[in-house]
């Protein structure tokens, strides 16, 4: 491990990429403290500390919400725009055709996603501005000093510009850094709040008459360690389908004849299902700020309620299958195998191969979807049963561990390409990461 870390700085290109990524993340963290004009930061911090939903949103934004920063929306509008575009590629023929045009088509879809991000940011900015005008802290102090259309327009422009800037930083990290820019932005926002969350949990334990006990803290630590171990184990899990290539003679040379395998990950969709599900479940809170009659729906779908957990699990399972179907096409894989003279032993090439791969993929995707649902919901339920309030739950652990694995895999790829040892040494296993999804093209 020590030699692997030392090797990073021996490669000029990798060193520049790593420093560039760290610099962009530092700029992101500095932007957290740039407050939207017209907002009382002290009053907003008190309001956020009172509500569980606002506290959860503040955690995922890296503390930007309690500061009412220009980065308060975080990267979630980009994720929501990606959801909409990927849904449209399935039901809207022109977008589906555009997606199959290769790199040019993916660039067009990426451009549409950027436009959608700005539009969604402006809409959410208006909803937040109207909601802020109604908020008062525990002392009766209003969050907004001068409510009105001037404040609303300023908030819309500030939040939309902040989200666009975060999106640009993520793309720059992907292109000029170590990759997975959007993933690393979310990762940085979550990790930055871990010390504060740990401190709050400790203070809750030290408070007089606290319901947080030593047993509850021990259960929390054990659950976190077990969840991290399960995430690492499952994220590296694969189902390997054997592939045999027929021998071909071209001139005086013989090609093919070797055996290989087609790796299918247990969790093909990565952490996209929990992120998509969380984004959709946040919409009722946004709409309730515009339409007061939706207040009951917002209350029913508050984090921690059984309705929220049931809907959350259902959305995770749905998006696990949906995103796997979008990113992996068994028909294309079967056609490519047939063109290159490859086949699965015992399975006829072509349609039968595609059916077999789809059958295997559907079975392991079910296991992956259930794994995601359990990881995201069970730790929250267990910690709440023992009276421990800690926002670094299953979804956060899944994102942090998954992105960390993928980042290490990216760095190790650079090291191995230049004949350096990886993090695990010359005889150790190679670390297999996985992409978050928002940084990769939605194609097979």
Most confident of 40-54, 211-225, 357-371: 357-371
- The domain spans of the chain are 2-417
**Tokens, residue 214:** 């030593």
Contact present, 68 and 137 (Cβ < 8 Å): no
**pLDDT tens by residue, 178-190:** 878 888 888 888 8
User: What fold does the segment set 2-417 form as a domain?
Assistant: Preprotein translocase SecY subunit (1.10.3370)
Q: Judge whether 184 and 21 are in contact, CB under 8 Å.
A: yes
With bands split at pLDDT 50, 70 and 90, how would you rate the model's confidence at 236?
A: confident
Per-residue model confidence as pLDDT tens digits over 331-388: 888 888 888 788 888 888 888 999 999 999 999 999 999 998 888 887 667 666 655 5
Out of 43-57, 81-95, 236-250, least confident range: 43-57
pLDDT > 80? residue 198: no
Q: Is residue 327 within 8 Å of 269, Cβ to Cβ? A: yes
User: Mapped to the 3 state alphabet, what secondary structure does 319-337 carry?
Assistant: HHHHHHHHHCCHHHHHHHH
For residue 348, give the 3-state DSSP assignment: coil
Per-residue pLDDT reduced to its tens digit, 283-304? 666 666 566 666 677 677 776 6
Residue 156 to residue 164: CA distance in whole angstroms: 12
Tokens for 136?
């008062």
First to last CA, the chain: 34
> CA triplet 337, 339, 341: central angle to 5 degrees?
65
| Cα Dmax for the chain | 87
Q: What are phi and psi of 141, to 5 degrees?
A: -80, 130
**CA angle 324-329-331, nearest 5°?**
150
């Amino acid at each position: 491990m020590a030699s692997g870390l030392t090797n990073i700085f021996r490669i000029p290109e990798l060193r520049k990429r790593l420093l560039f990524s760290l610099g962009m993340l530092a700029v992101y963290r500095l932007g957290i403290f740039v407050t939207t004009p017209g907002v009382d930061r002290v009053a907003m911090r008190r309001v956020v500390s009172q509500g569980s939903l606002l506290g959860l949103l503040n955690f995922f934004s890296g503390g930007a919400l309690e500061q009412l920063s220009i980065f308060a929306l975080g990267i979630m509008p980009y994720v929501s725009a990606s959801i909409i575009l990927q849904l449209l590629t399935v039901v809207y023929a022109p977008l589906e055709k555009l997606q199959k045009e290769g790199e040019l088509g993916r660039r067009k879809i990426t451009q549409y996603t950027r436009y959608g991000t700005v539009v969604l940011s402006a809409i959410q900015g208006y909803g937040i501005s109207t909601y802020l005008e109604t908020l008062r802290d525990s002392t009766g102090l209003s969050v907004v000093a001068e409510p009105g259309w001037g404040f609303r327009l300023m908030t819309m422009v500030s939040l939309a510009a902040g989200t666009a800037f975060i999106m640009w930083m993520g793309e720059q990290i992907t292109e000029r850094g170590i990759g997975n820019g959007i993933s690393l932005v979310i990762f940085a926002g979550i990790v930055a709040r871990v010390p504060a969350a740990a401190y709050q949990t400790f203070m809750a334990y030290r408070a007089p008459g606290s319901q947080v006990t030593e047993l509850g803290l021990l259960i929390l630590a054990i659950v976190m360690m077990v969840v991290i171990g399960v995430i690492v184990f499952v994220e590296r899990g694969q189902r390997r389908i054997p592939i045999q290539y027929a021998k071909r003679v071209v001139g005086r040379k013989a090609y093919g004849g070797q055996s290989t395998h087609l790796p299918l990950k247990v969790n093909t969709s990565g952490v996209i299902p929990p992120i998509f599900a969380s984004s959709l479940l946040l919409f009722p809170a946004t709409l309730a700020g515009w339409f007061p009659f939706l207040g009951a729906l917002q209350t029913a779908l508050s984090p921690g309620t059984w309705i929220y957990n049931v809907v959350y699990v259902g959305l995770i399972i749905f998006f696990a299958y949906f995103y796997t179907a979008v990113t992996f096409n068994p028909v294309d894989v079967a056609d490519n195998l047939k063109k290159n003279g490859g086949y699965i032993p015992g399975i006829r090439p072509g349609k039968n191969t595609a059916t077999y791969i789809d059958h295997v993929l559907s079975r392991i995707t079910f296991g992956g979807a259930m794994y995601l649902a359990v990881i995201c919901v069970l730790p929250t339920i267990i910690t709440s049963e023992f009276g421990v309030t800690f926002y670094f739950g299953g979804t956060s652990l899944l994102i942090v561990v998954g992105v960390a694995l993928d980042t290490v895999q990216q760095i190790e790829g650079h090291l191995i390409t230049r004949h350096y040892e990886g993090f695990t040494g010359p005889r150790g296993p190679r670390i297999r990461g996985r992409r978050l999804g928002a940084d990769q093209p939605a194609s097979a």
